[in-house]
Amino acid sequence: MAGYETIEVERDGRVAIVRFARPDVMNAMNGQLFREWVLATDDLNADPEVGAIVVTGAGRAFSSGADVSDFRRASEGDEQVKRDWAKYQPIAFAGERLTASKPLVGAINGLALGAGLTCTFWFDVNIASTAARFSMRFAALGLTPELDSAWLLPRIVGLQQAKEMMLTARIYGAEEARELGLVRRVVEPEALEPEAVALAAEIAAHPVSTLATIKRMVFDDLLATDFAAIDASSERSFAEARRSPEHREALRALGQKRDPRFHDAEHMAEVVERMRSRSSSGGS
């Protein structure tokens, strides 16, 4: 996946690593980065060989947030900048898009400021380096929180903590972020990426369709207000999973004392064919 200028994309088995790569400006997010992130993650989400995505930053920052120099370029008539912001900024880290993505593991290596922090709220698990720093910096810049963070942050850290973070624009250390629930754990800088890749690989070993369903269920239930509807949806999803080829393969692997072959396309096609044959013959 060559040809990107503001991000780097690597592969490690079934894990893709996307690295914000503008270290000279602390990985500030400009229109080109939004565009390249969208194009890269669309490709990764369509790739059956990718099961999970690690997101990190190059250099000493994860991301310092939006690149305000792009605002000046747009005001001076840079049409490409205008197009990128109009088309890609609204969708790049939108909750609806990230919850529909393959699992995302944040490896927060340094400063995560503004949009560089709020985008991580939509990742599935975050790990931080001891060098990481976090801030909802918006109020200090005369701005308001974006990426739906005023809705999501209280659900992560609690109402009082969220308001304090947003109203003070304070900078928090890695251990404080862990205590708040912004990250799952904190590790030394040299261990960050290996830990994140190992976690992503553990997730990526499972069926892609199952992981997608779990992510959708969590998001749908977070928004739901009718418990009867939640209960019915949960039962429906479980019943569908029991009839899936992935579940059949898991049971067969368990009985044969082997690892499931969820990602072997030829093998799974055979599983599907056996299920069809049994169904047509009246078997279970």
Residues 131 and 89 both lie in one domain: yes
pTM comes to: 0.92
Whether the pLDDT of residue 69 is over 90: the answer is: no
In this prediction, residue 85 carries a pLDDT of 87
Of 141, 176, 204, which marks where a domain is finished? 204
Q: Is pLDDT of 1 > 60? A: no
Domain residues for the domain of 221 are 208-280
- Among residues 169, 204, 239, the one where a domain terminates is 204
Q: What is the pLDDT of residues 73-101, one digit of tens each?
A: 777 777 888 898 899 999 999 999 999 99
241-262 pLDDT per residue, tens: 999 999 999 999 999 999 999 9
Sheet with 171-173, edge to edge strand ranges? 61-63, 111-113, 133-135, 171-173
Q: How far is the CA of 258 from the CAs of 206, 251, 252, 253, 265, in angstroms?
A: 14, 10, 9, 5, 17
Q: How confident is the model at residue 223 (pLDDT cuts 50, 70, 90)?
A: confident
Predicted pLDDT at 282? 65
Residue 31 maps to which CATH number? 3.90.226.10
Residue 113 lies in a domain: yes
Read off the pLDDT band of 272 (50, 70, 90): very high
Q: Are residues 51 and 191 in the same domain?
A: yes
Which of 204, 235, 262 finishes a domain? 204
Q: How many C-beta atoms lie closer than 10 Å to residue 256's C-beta?
A: 9
The pLDDT mean for the chain works out to 94
Measured distance CA(14)–CA(34) in Å, rounded: 24
2 is a domain residue: no
- Do 196 and 218 share a structural domain? no
Asked if the structure places residue 70 within a domain, the reply is yes
Q: Is the pLDDT of residue 283 over 70?
A: no
Q: Are residues 195 and 68 both part of a single domain?
A: yes
Q: How far is the C-alpha of 141 from the C-alpha of 144, rounded, in Å? A: 9
